[in-house]
A and B are shown apart, each in its own frame.
Chain A
Amino acid sequence: MKYFSKIYIFLILGILYIPIVTLILFSFNESSSTALFTGFSFKWYYELFRSPETFEALRNTLILAASSAIIATVIGTAAAEGIYKMRNKLAKTAITSVTNIPMMNPDIVTGMSMMLFFVAVAAILGISYENIGFTAMLISHVTFCLPYVILSVLPRINELGDSLSEAALDLGCTPIQAFFKVKLPNIMPGVLSGMVMAFTMSLDDFVISYFVGSSDFQTLPLLIYSMTKKQVKPDMYALSTLIIVTIFVLLIITNVKSGRKSAHSGMGGKKK
């Protein structure tokens, strides 16, 4: 039984990695074939680094992910505090349900609704859709990141309870001081993991960006999509390999740093 379970884990994880390993392998292929390995070369990486498109997409992706993560974290943390303090049960349920809509809805529906919204906004303001491209993208990303931030902060606030902030208030803090000096440092792990979640969600998003985005603001997933539409050369593989390696390194760093904290804390977040 012990052996069986080990073999099973390795088998499934192995299958999970075959496509990724193949992809990494062929990114070093000398020819442009993605089926036959003819020799080792860095040629596709050179090609990739020579294209200004890649760098622009990378820059855009990072700017978008960082700004949406920061905005979502600020609004989301405040929201978690507000929701915690809410006495009215009905209002509480209503707010959390609405917040969770982007998380429950298929991305394609969220993307469609956001796109229609911004088309309408552009029409009302009488400007072309391209002019609000980045803003539209940023607002959409903040919107689908918010539930993840709230879900990661709210349990911390619940856990912390009221006693500490009440003590701070009794000792003469204003409510705002009490929040920033006492509560925030205590819920910081939740805030940070929410921010990381938001950052990665934004980094990874294709569907919503695809619907909302306009041609002048290309992100990496959008670039990959347009690359796979055409005849694929291994430069897409090289780009993917670089992304995978970056994620792998980041994952190792965060795991080593978080120490004993379970690696999956952000996941399974669909429930509560």
Chain B
Amino acid sequence: MKKRNSLLRSIAAAPHVFWAVLFIVLPLIIVVYYAFTDADGGFTLENIAALPEYAPIFLLSLELSVIATFICLLVGYPLAYFIAKAKPERQKLFIMLLMLPMWTNLLIRTYSIMAIFDDGGFLNTLLGTSIHIIGTKGAVIFGMVYDFLPYMVLPIYTCVSKIDKHMWEAASDLGCRPVQVMTKVILPLSMSGIISGVTMVLVPSISTFYISQKLGGGTFELIGDTIERQFVTNALNSGAAISLVMMVLILISLSIMNKFSDSEEGGIIV
């Protein structure tokens, strides 16, 4: 029985391999193809050469999404930590409450923020003021934080709740002050959760176009908006070039982060 060759053993993966090559790899190759051709299909470097034009937009997206990710981490880490320290049945309730907004469509969530902060919106009507919020960087960052906060909290929570309870005792028995327990033991042990949370917030934030459309009030163009505009105006070749660069940048930074988190984990296990 066991002598069947390895190809036959894993035959069950064949449909998936077929699917992945056809619908994951091939589309990416087509993106590359579009990025290097013009509308008539002739080879050109124009789309790539035009990319520096978009550098300011890309930097703005990077700035806003990094700030949003940082705020998510600052707000989300304590939240995840406190939830992990709560009573088990409470934990379940809190996690469920955290997941409900996450399962609500992003469009709905973003739109409801807009309705609150709008010039003639709920907040201004309630306070009788006319504070102009929509269209500021702050509004877009708030939207990103609000929409993606649960993605930061959940992985960190999973990670912190798996840390052995005796770690705290051991650390303080060995003379750590509470702050030191946190910085020297708990924080390093939850690193993999932090990294996966940061990825899960940063990637959708940097590529969003709906949040900037609604909360940026038409004054912001992020890289996601640029791609979406190329799509709507059918400028597919230049849209493909921007997508390609974005994908390469993101996949490179993700693999660096994953390496970092893996070595961290490995170090801990050893």
Contact = CB atoms under 8 A, between A and B. Distances in A.
A264 B157 contact: yes
Contacts of A119: 236
A151 interface: no
A22 B113 CA distance: 9
Contact of A116 (B19, B30, B97, B155): B30
A76 interface: yes
A12 interface: yes
A182 B268 CA distance: 36
Contact of A26 (B34, B115, B124): B115
Interface in B1-37: 1, 6, 9-17, 19-21, 23-28, 30-31, 34
B83 interface: yes
A78 B19 CA distance: 12
Interface string A157-187: 0000000000001000000000000000000
B141 interface: no
Interface centre among B1, B98, B192, B204 (most CB of A within 10 A): B98
Interface in A108-150: 108-109, 112-117, 119-120, 139-140, 142-143, 146, 150
A19 B113 contact: yes
Contacts of B154: 264, 267-268
Contacts of A150: 16
Given A104-B250, A169-B1, A221-B107, A78 B115 contact: no
Interface stretch (A47-55, A62-70, A84-92): A84-92
Interface string B182-201: 00000000001100100110
B95 interface: yes
B20 A99 contact: yes
A59 to B, nearest CB: 17
Interface residue range, chain B? 35 or more
A89 to B, nearest CB: 11
B182 to A, nearest CB: 12
A22 B123 CA distance: 10
A251 B79 contact: no
Interface residues of A, number: 82
A19 B109 contact: yes
Given A19-B109, A251-B99, A35 B125 contact: yes
Nearest to B223: A108
Contact of A263 (B1, B79, B95): B95
B20 A95 contact: yes
B122 A34 contact: yes
A166 to B, nearest CB: 8
A22 B112 contact: yes
A134 to B, nearest CB: 15
A220 B107 CA distance: 11
Interface stretch (B42-50, B131-139, B165-173, B206-214): B206-214
Nearest to B203: A106
A20 B101 contact: yes
A270 B9 contact: no
A214 B150 CA distance: 31
Interface of B: 1, 6, 9-17, 19-21, 23-28, 30-31, 34, 75, 78-79, 82-83, 85-86, 92, 94-101, 103-109, 111-113, 115-116, 118, 120-122, 124-125, 146, 149-150, 154-155, 157-159, 192-193, 196, 199-200, 203-204, 206-207, 209-210, 214, 224, 227-228, 231, 236, 239-240, 243, 246-247, 250-251, 254, 261
Interface of A: 5-6, 8-9, 12-13, 15-20, 22-23, 26, 34-36, 75-76, 78-79, 81-83, 85-88, 95, 98-99, 101-102, 104-109, 112-117, 119-120, 139-140, 142-143, 146, 150, 169, 200, 204, 206-207, 211, 220-221, 224-225, 228, 232, 236, 240, 243-244, 247-248, 251-252, 255, 262-264, 267-268, 270-271
Closest 8 A-B residue pairs measured CB to CB?
A82-B13, A106-B207, A79-B16, A82-B12, A19-B112, A117-B27, A113-B27, A5-B82
6 contacts: A23-B111, A83-B13, A87-B9, A113-B27, A115-B231, A221-B107
